[in-house]
C-alpha cells in the first residue's frame, strides 16, 4: 500500500508493533496521528516520527478520548485515510486462573476499543467516500495450552 501523503491514525502507537508501524508510515511519507494511553512513551515515539507525526494520549475504551482523537486529526490534517487499529493488551496464563475482571479488561481494550475507534472513524470515511481500516489481532494458537492467551478458549468454542 502506498501511504505517501495519506493521513493515518495508529492506535497503540507508543510501543511495539504500533510504534514501528507509525514510524514506518512516517518514513514512507504518511501523516500519522499516534494514539496511546502511555503519554510519556508516546512522546518518545513522536520524537522518532518527526514532523509527520502528531500524537495524542487517550484510551481506546473512552468515547470522549476517541472523539478528541478524531476531531484533532481532522483539524490538523483535514481527513482520515486509514485507521490502523492496533491497541491491545494480553494476559497469559491458565484460562481458569485469570480473574474475571482481568479477562474483561482484555476484551474491553482488544475488542470494544477497536470497535469504538471504528465507530467514530467510519462516518468520516463514508463522508469522504474513501478510507481503509486495518485491524491487528494477536496470534492465537489453534490448540489451548496451560499458558495460552485467555481469549483462546472462547475462539475455540466458537470454531
Task: Give the DSSP H or E segment for 156.
Answer: helix 152-158
Return the closest-CA partner of residue 85 out of 114, 111, 55, 125: 114
Mean pLDDT of 135-151: 54
What 3-state class would DSSP assign to 65?
Answer: helix
Q: What is the pLDDT of residues 20-50, one digit of tens each?
A: 999 999 999 999 999 999 988 887 777 777 7
For residue 19, CA distances in Å to 68, 72, 77, 104, 148 come to 20, 19, 20, 25, 25
CATH tag, 7-158? 3.40.50.720
Mean pLDDT of 103-124: 92
All residues at 6 or more sequence positions from 22 whose CB lies less than 8 Å from its CB, including other chains: 8, 10, 13, 32, 34, 45, 49, 53, 84
Confidence of residue 146 (pLDDT cuts 50, 70, 90): very low
Ranges of each domain in the chain: 7-158
* pTM given for the model: 0.85
Amino acid at each position: 500500500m502506498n501511504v505517501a501523503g495519506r493521513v493515518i491514525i495508529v492506535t497503540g502507537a507508543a510501543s511495539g508493533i504500533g510504534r514501528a508501524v507509525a514510524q514506518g508510515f512516517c518514513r514512507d511519507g504518511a501523516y500519522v496521528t499516534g494514539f496511546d494511553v502511555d503519554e510519556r512513551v508516546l512522546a518518545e515515539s513522536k520524537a522518532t516520527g518527526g514532523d509527520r507525526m502528531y500524537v495524542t494520549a487517550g484510551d481506546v475504551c473512552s468515547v470522549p478520548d476517541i472523539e478528541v482523537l478524531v476531531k484533532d486529526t481532522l483539524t490538523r490534517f483535514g481527513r482520515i485515510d486509514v485507521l490502523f487499529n492496533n491497541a491491545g493488551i494480553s494476559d497469559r496464563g491458565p484460562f481458569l486462573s485469570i480473574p474475571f475482571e482481568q479477562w474483561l479488561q482484555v476484551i474491553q481494550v482488544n475488542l470494544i476499543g477497536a470497535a469504538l475507534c471504528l465507530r467514530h472513524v467510519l462516518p468520516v470515511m463514508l463522508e469522504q467516500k474513501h478510507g481503509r481500516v486495518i485491524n491487528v489481532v494477536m496470534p492465537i494458537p489453534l490448540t489451548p495450552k496451560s499458558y495460552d492467551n485467555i481469549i483462546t478458549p472462547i475462539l475455540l468454542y466458537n470454531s
